[in-house]
């Protein structure tokens, strides 16, 4: 079944345009509630959100939709996406709901869901919800309507959980850390986590006004954090995105480390501590250098489709614990059921503190191949799959690269874009080939 509303990570779009309108979101919650009621007598749903001004409106619509279907609601307020996943599991809730468009600017928003186990839900569940959306609503009678309450200490519970994943015999004392929360869901939580573990914290991106989420700060704009690390003589910089499920890290020299490098570090740290790492899951975008370095240490590697939910599926299929994306979505299933920027940061810092090695020293054996990514905006109904010129150009580029590089062309799961990526050992070659492919895609 082709999904009409669900994309790579829930339902996302511009506020005020279908499907991110209060009437549709109410219908969505009602449909989800009806799906839950098929197997549960009195379901309970947790709702968290980031700091977008539209979150208030969508929260109210979700609450009404769930209550109308006989589902109880617990409001968490602003909370990172992985925090909602954690509390869904520990509160024994039926479902977790996050109102967020992650790294997108404030005019966008979205709805995503977590299972009772705190993990992403499968495509089959989303398809069942879409079928329910096509059915006429069946309102619960007055005696069966859901009720709503607020969990006042949600942030505190999540802070303690994050801290519990950091070794009890280690501390961050003596470290100065810039913490950039992107004016997003972790704006109150992230500085407290690092401060309570002993670090001197310089907070930035922690003053949301409803309109400034991801605006020039956070993991999508790490250059601001790089400057802050240098200006303050900090040891590290930690950049999260708007819902705090992705991470980028800067060292004392202002060198930025992406998700591919941090994923390798997580695996290398576990190997250095004598743990067994059977395999790691990346994506179609993961840098070839990481795959080669892991395989050189006897660690298996598989590539999933882009999207942390697909990485999670590969981990489950293989029984592995570590996976991630270059964007900074990292999965350490020995710590949490989903990707968590704060917990990933603590795992990185823990490796450096315990070993006495810098990030540069951990990653000196993994010089990344240059990757060039060009986003090509598609015209309405443009059929890029049957573009003869693109096919010819692709064949020529692949012949030129041979086994020293690779090409990936894929549609975005959240925007009307075609993503063209070329990876090669030579930067100029990668740039030239990517531009040739992008030009061919536009011409078609």
Q: Which residues are catalytically annotated?
A: 102
Instruction: Name, in order, each residue with C-beta under 8 angstroms of 255's C-beta and a sequence gap of 6 or more.
Output: 359, 360
How far apart CA 198 and CA 121 sit, in angstroms, is 36
Please calculate the CA angle 96-101-103 and round it to the nearest 5 degrees.
120
How far apart CA 337 and CA 321 sit, in angstroms, is 10
Strand 44-49, strand 72-78: pairing: parallel
Please calculate the CA angle 199-204-205 and round it to the nearest 5 degrees.
135
Q: How far is CA 185 from the centre of its chain?
A: 13
Instruction: Name, in order, each residue with C-beta under 8 angstroms of 2's C-beta and a sequence gap of 6 or more.
Output: none
Closest CA to 99 of 132, 164, 54, 130: 54
How far apart CA 64 and CA 77 sit, in angstroms, is 16
Closest CA to 33 of 5, 4, 63: 63
From the number of C-beta atoms within 10 Å of its C-beta (0-12, 13-18, 19+), residue 98 rates as buried
User: Six-digit token pair at 382?
Assistant: 């443009």
How far apart CA 239 and CA 405 sit, in angstroms, is 30
How far apart CA 365 and CA 293 sit, in angstroms, is 7
């Amino acid at each position: 079944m082709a999904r009409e509303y669900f994309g790579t990570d829930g339902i996302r779009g511009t506020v005020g345009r279908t499907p991110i309108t209060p009437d549709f979101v109410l219908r969505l919650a009602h449909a989800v509630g009806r799906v839950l009621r098929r197997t549960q007598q009195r379901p309970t749903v947790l709702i968290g959100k980031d700091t977008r001004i539209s979150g208030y409106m969508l929260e109210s619509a979700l609450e009404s939709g769930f209550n109308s279907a006989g589902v109880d609601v617990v409001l968490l307020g602003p909370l990172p996406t992985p925090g909602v996943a954690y509390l869904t599991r520990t509160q024994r809730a039926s479902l977790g709901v996050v109102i967020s468009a992650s790294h997108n600017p404030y005019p966008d928003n979205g709805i995503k869901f977590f299972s009772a186990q705190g993990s992403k839900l499968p495509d089959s569940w989303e398809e069942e919800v879409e079928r329910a959306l096509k059915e006429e609503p069946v309102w619960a009678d007055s005696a069966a309507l859901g009720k709503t309450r607020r969990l006042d200490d949600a942030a505190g519970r999540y802070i303690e959980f994050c801290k519990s994943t950091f070794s009890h015999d280690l501390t961050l004392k003596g470290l100065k850390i810039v913490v950039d929360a992107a004016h997003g869901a972790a704006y109150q939580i992230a500085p407290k986590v690092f401060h309570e573990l002993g670090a001197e914290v310089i907070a930035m991106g922690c003053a949301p006004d409803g309109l400034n989420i991801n605006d020039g700060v956070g993991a999508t704009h790490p250059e601001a954090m790089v400057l802050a690390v240098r200006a303050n003589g900090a040891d590290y910089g930690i950049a999260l995105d708007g819902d705090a499920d992705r991470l980028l890290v800067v060292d004392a020299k202002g060198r930025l480390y992406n998700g591919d490098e941090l994923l390798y570090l997580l695996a290398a740290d576990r190997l250095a501590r004598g743990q067994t790492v059977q395999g790691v899951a990346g994506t179609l975008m993961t840098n070839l250098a990481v795959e080669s370095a892991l395989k050189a240490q006897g660690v298996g590697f598989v590539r999933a489709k882009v999207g942390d939910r697909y990485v999670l599926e590969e981990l489950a299929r293989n029984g592995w614990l570590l996976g991630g994306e270059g964007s900074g979505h990292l999965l350490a299933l020995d710590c949490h059921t989903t990707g968590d920027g704060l917990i990933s940061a603590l795992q990185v810092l823990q490796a450096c503190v315990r070993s006495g090695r810098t990030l540069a020293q951990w990653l000196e054996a993994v010089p990344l191949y240059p990757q060039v990514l060009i986003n090509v905006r598609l015209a309405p109904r443009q059929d890029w799959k049957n573009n003869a010129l693109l096919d010819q150009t692709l064949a020529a580029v692949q012949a030129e690269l041979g086994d020293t590089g690779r090409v990936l062309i894929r549609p975005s799961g959240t925007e009307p874009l075609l993503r063209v990526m070329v990876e090669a050992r030579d930067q100029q070659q990668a740039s030239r080939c990517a531009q040739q492919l992008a030009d061919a895609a536009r011409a078609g």
